[in-house]
Amino acid sequence: MAQDFKYYAFISYNSKDTVWGKRVQRKLEHYRMPATLCNERGWKRTPIRPVFFAPTDIQPGGLTDELQERLKASRNLVVICSPNSAQSDWVGKEIEFFHSLGRTSNIHFFIVDGKPHSGDPSTECFNPVIDKLGLPEILGANIHERNYRWPWLNKERAYVQLVSKLLGVEFDAIWQRHKRLLFRKALAWFFGIAAVIAALVAVWIGNQPFDTTVRLNEASVHNDQLPPMHDAVVTISLDNESKSDTILTIDQTGQFTNIPHRYLEKDVQMSFACPDFLPLDTTLLLNRDVTLNIHRDPKVYGQVSFGLWNPETETFITGTKLEVAGQVVTTDKEGHVSLFVPLEKQRKTYQVKAPFPLYNDMLTMPCGESDVLEKL
């Protein structure tokens, strides 16, 4: 009748290899076998459990009754092999006691450091009790065996070697499947990390300050006879600051740099001020390229106003018809003229035609009531 064991394996280790002992325990207890093998052999998907792992190394005085009972209750003994365990009397005692139980074939070795049969105490990984007991030639699963170029894959291969020995199955029966799962996991990790990095980069890029270029477009009737646009000041008003730039000509652009990203495609206040043009103060959607439609102030060169003066009588001349920019006007009772010239006909100077000679018949714009033309 087959003996029932409380533990599937007992891990023997030196306290300096505690990390490796815990790692092997976790790997064995959580190793999932293929469903087909589990169905064939009546296993659970994680058949190698529980695995006993003593929290501390054996204390002086030999094996305690408790540890002897744990060893008796274990189907297999897994020895963490390294120069540390090779020089440990207590690891030797656990191997010797398990051997005395008649389960020599159930002793398995997992090499984490050192070299097998090196003959050098500083590198030898097998405890000398192995030779003393005359145990069969042992190789053990070695995490440093170079079957693949990637160290992590060699470690995984060693774990699967140990699993296959513990369960008594062909190594290749589970290794090829395990390797495929590893590569799938590696690909999943790779694409997952790549996606996270891409998302972080996108967030980083998305939160970078941006620059805005402002272009001016003269939306009013264009008139080559008038001075071109010059020295326009464009201002963007943000929450806590304002940025301004001077655009010298209509063909140039304004540049606003290092605008916080939170303002991109948000409504902001923008203003425009320029000689001869109507001021603009508007709210617009801020993008990397902004176009402002600007309009000339028609009053600057279109609002004509002057007086007609007779120097001989030292009085203003009233009721006299004059022609200005193709328009006929009559001086009022105070001897003044006021008219508006449409934008397309505006000029920087206007010739004034009168029924008598004028001292100077050219009127320079802009002008106002204080401007006077004199009769010759």
> What pLDDT, in 10s, does the model give residues 348-359?
999 999 999 999
Instruction: Please indicate, yes or no, whether residues 281 and 322 belong to a single structural domain of this protein.
Output: no
Predicted confidence band of residue 58 (pLDDT cuts 50, 70, 90): very low
Q: Provide the pLDDT for residue 40.
A: 78
pLDDT reading at 63 higher than 80: no
Same domain? For 149 and 264 the reply is: no
Tally of domains in the chain: 4
Q: Which residue has the higher pLDDT, 135 or 220?
A: 220
- Confidence (pTM): 0.56
67 and 78 part of one domain: yes
Q: Are residues 123 and 137 in the same domain?
A: yes
Across the range 90-113, mean pLDDT stands at 93
**pLDDT, position 137:** 65
Confidence at residue 3, expressed as pLDDT on a 0 to 100 scale: 65
Please tell me the predicted confidence (pLDDT) of residue 202.
82
| 259 and 284 part of one domain | yes
Same domain, 26 and 149: yes
Show the domain range for 192.
177-207
Residues 27 and 142 grouped into a single domain: yes
246 pLDDT exceeds 60? yes
Of the three residues 281, 296, 311, the one that is the final residue of a domain is 296
Weakest-pLDDT range from 204-213, 232-241, 268-277, 341-350: 204-213
Query: Using an 8 Å Cβ cutoff, are 365 and 336 in contact?
Result: no
Domain match, 242 and 352 both: no
The pLDDT assigned to 128 comes to 93
Please determine, for residue 56, whether its predicted confidence score (pLDDT) is greater than 60.
no
Could you read off the pLDDT of 85-96 as tens digits, one per residue?
999 998 999 999
pLDDT of residue 111: 94
Instruction: Tell whether 184 is covered by a domain.
Output: yes
Looking at the structure, tell me whether residues 60 and 161 fall in a common domain: yes
pLDDT (0 to 100) of residue 284:
94
Same domain membership, residue 53 and residue 139:
yes
For the beta carbon of residue 85, count every other beta carbon within 10 angstroms. 31
Q: Is there a single domain that holds both residue 239 and residue 342?
A: no
**2 is a domain residue:** no
**H-type alpha helices, 207-356:** 298-302
| Residue 57 confidence (pLDDT) | 44
Q: What is the pLDDT of residues 173-187, one digit of tens each?
A: 788 888 888 888 888
What pLDDT, on a 0 to 100 scale, did the predictor assign at position 62? 60
Check whether 274 has a pLDDT greater than 50.
yes
Say if residue 84's pLDDT is above 60: yes
Q: Is 258 found in the same domain as 192? A: no
**Comparing 4 with 282, which gets the higher pLDDT?**
282
pLDDT over 70 for what percent of the chain?
Answer: 97
Contact yes or no for 212/289 (Cβ under 8 A)? yes
Tell me the per-residue pLDDT of 14-42, one tens digit each, with 9 for 90 and over. 999 999 999 999 999 998 887 777 887 88
DSSP 148-215: SSSHHHHHHHHHHHHHHHHHT--HHHHHHHHHHHHHHHHHHHHHHHHHHHHHHHHHHHHTS-EEEEEE
Helix (H) or strand (E) holding 365: none
Q: For 268-297, what is the mean pLDDT?
A: 95
What is the four-CA torsion angle of 153, 156, 160, 162, rounded to 10 degrees? 120
Boundary of a domain, candidates 274, 296, 318:
296
pLDDT at position 308 is: 96
Split at pLDDT 50, 70, 90, the class of 1 is: very low
Whether 114 is covered by a domain: the verdict is: yes
Q: pLDDT by residue (tens digit) across 190-236?
A: 899 999 999 898 888 878 899 999 999 999 998 999 999 999 999 99
CATH number of the domain residue 290 falls in: 2.60.40.4130
How far apart (Å, rounded) are the C-alpha atoms in residues 153 and 147? 9
